[in-house]
Chain A
């Protein structure tokens, strides 16, 4: 049984905001003083943390376990390539287009996907993602199996992509916090815990889940665009690979599902581990095996992930989306009976 911390939250707020501001300042100034390798690492962390936040929004807060996030990565990346190569649009506009196309696909699929729950939803999202890559590799102007170069991205400096990555990191985290602190967020929590009771308590289930999918698909699409701007070349089988979702699951599970800071910690660990392990071993896939073993160990030893376990131990959340009762009970009349 957990007794959660109730009031005096405001006292710690100042320190928290200063801490967050300091981290943001360090992130924004990094290219000025950091090495090339550090910039690349943090750039990857930004991308993977944002990816984790978006999977966590679906799975950790709304009970929608998606195995199809790679669909939005691929669509977002290809949209950036098509809009900049063929239509001559600037890259930032291409990123927004990538988000919008991903969102449009999510809206279209939602009418089928949101009729399914749990494992059925998971399998269906994966199936659609697999179908999507088959469509993409059969279209001539998308380069068939060869994929496309984002020509305009060749001129980008490492620092340019870095700032896109930091922007998407901050935006994804802020959007999740704002969404979850809104009434929609409360409804999503309820659906996650018990969808029947949520419906009979007035929560419009389809609409709430749809909002959630729209946000997640838009931002994941932008993430795909940013990542492939750093890579310049989009290889369709890699862009639509399930390994994107596997990474997101790893990040969220070891960081702490259903927490805001979980994907942040998980993303940092994931990037360090995957970089270190890929330089360590000659066999490329060995790093995947080790990541898998770590995930299994965390699930067995600390099923709530690193952040979830620490929060339970100390009854403290760094970024909380809880609604505490404290400020409303002060104004209540004294109870009439003991």
Chain B
């Protein structure tokens, strides 16, 4: 079982991202689950979304999770959310930030001495440059593909195209560029 926790602000596309990732992963024959806590959260409020991936049907409906990957979608949440909660020795963190990796780690005690498990990129700049809106979800998926090695980039892009299906060709193409840039820029 592979488990992912997304830290996001409502409106940044974490739910869509989690469901999109689930749809892509399901195309490969795996069993998936995507859910979120939002209750009556308003746009901009901190929220979390979740993925589970397994080879057999997923029966677990608890919200509690010890994630293998944690995605931080908003630079501010790296400083305000308890994003290392319920972590494992192997948990990897992908953080969107305009800071360098060294600058970011220096400011967050929780992730010091785990440089090899912290990955950074600037999903906002990538999304603005390519899609034209500051929605960091597809760049985050591109970064995840690179860090996890779960898919080949091209294979993932092809599956993602069918998930984005109903959007205009221009938007789909922009998302493909965003995924590829994130894949190449995460480090």
Chains A and B form a bound pair:
no
On B, residues with C-beta under 8 Å from A are none
On A, residues with C-beta under 8 Å from B are none
